[in-house]
Chains A and B, each alone.
Chain A
Amino acid sequence: DIVMTQSPLFLPVFPGESASISCRSSRSLLHTNGYDYLDWYLQKPGQSPQLLISVGSTRASGVPDRFRGSGSGTDFTLKISRVEAEDVGIYYCMQALQTPYTFGQGTKLEIK
């Protein structure tokens, strides 16, 4: 199985500040089609997970441009600019290159 490792696991941020989450995979997620099969999800308190970013850097419909995914191969980053109160929750990366799909441990973002 591909192991996904996120850091940090806990991320306290002041409103208006930026935040970054790192995600590393145990093998390259670069598909032969040129896309990295790495997705980012946010699970807000009491809600189902929601898709933020797919194939490394493509924002899902309705996701603000404050959210930016980058990286390739085995190293990926989710950057959130101008953090807002509504951004609190647990952020997960997930590899969709091969089954079993695997998630990172999750990063809990909290507003200071």
Chain B
Amino acid sequence: QVQLQQSGPGLVKPSQTLSVTCVISGDTVSSNIAAWNWVRVRQSPSRGLEWLGRTFYRSQWDHDYAPSLGSRITINADTSKNQFSLHLTSVTPEDTAIYYCARARVTGLAFDVWGQGTVVTVAS
């Protein structure tokens, strides 16, 4: 079955770049129908789920990002490693959260597979 395995640093200093990677097994990042998403949940104060963005391949790579993140976010894919990554620049303590990767088996449909989550704390 499809599995997503996340990795990334637990602690990032303010103003630096947060990077989290999601390795895919059982599917292909360059699938012509799936989309690969990032979602986070900030803990303090307790907030709900927040969609950050996605990447997908349809004869070329495309992506959509949450406007709230402006130009700080990049999501890219590495086909040689069958993985995709989230990069968030100029982080502040407001970016402290659990970050999840998730697959939409068909672009536009629900997230049917999730990674285990990566706790990221932004602090000096």
Listed in ascending order, the chain A residues whose CB lies under 8 Å from chain B are: 1, 37, 39, 41, 43, 48-51, 54-55, 60, 90, 92, 94, 96, 99-106
The dominant DSSP class at the B interface is strand
Q: Which residues of B contact A103 (CB under 8 A)?
A: 48-51
Q: How far is the CA of A95 from the CA of B66 in the complex (A)?
A: 14
Evaluate whether A48 and B49 lie within 8 angstroms (CB atoms) in the complex, with A60-B110, A96-B108, A96-B110 already known: no
Give the interface of B toward A (CB within 8 A): 37, 39, 41, 48-51, 54, 64-68, 100, 102, 104, 108-112, 114-117
Q: Is the beta-carbon distance between B109 and A96 smaller than 8 angstroms?
A: yes
For the complex, give the distance between the alpha carbons of A104 and B117 in Å.
20
Q: Which 7 A-B pairs have the closest CB atoms?
A: A54-B110, A101-B51, A39-B110, A48-B114, A99-B64, A106-B48, A103-B49
12 pairs, CB–CB < 8 Å, chain A vs chain B: A39-B111, A41-B111, A48-B100, A48-B116, A49-B114, A55-B109, A55-B110, A92-B49, A100-B67, A103-B48, A105-B48, A106-B48
Complex Cα gap A1–B64 (Å): 13
Among A48, A54, A100, A104, the one with the most B-chain Cβ atoms within 10 Å of its Cβ is A48
In the assembled complex, the Cα of A100 lies from the Cα of B70 at a distance in Å of 12
B54 contact from A41, A99, A102, Cβ within 8 A: A99
Contact A51 B66 (CB under 8 A): no
Distance in angstroms from B103 CB to nearest chain A CB is 10
Shortest CB-to-CB span from A105 to chain B, Å, is 5
Residues in B neighbouring A1, C-beta threshold 8 A? 67
In angstroms, how far is the closest chain A Cβ from the Cβ of B100?
Answer: 6
Distance to closest chain B CB from A111 (angstroms):
20
- CB closest chain-A residue, reference B64: A99
Q: In the complex, what's the smallest C-beta–C-beta distance from B123 to chain A, in angstroms?
A: 22
A96 to chain B: which residues have CB within 8 Å? Answer: 104, 108-110
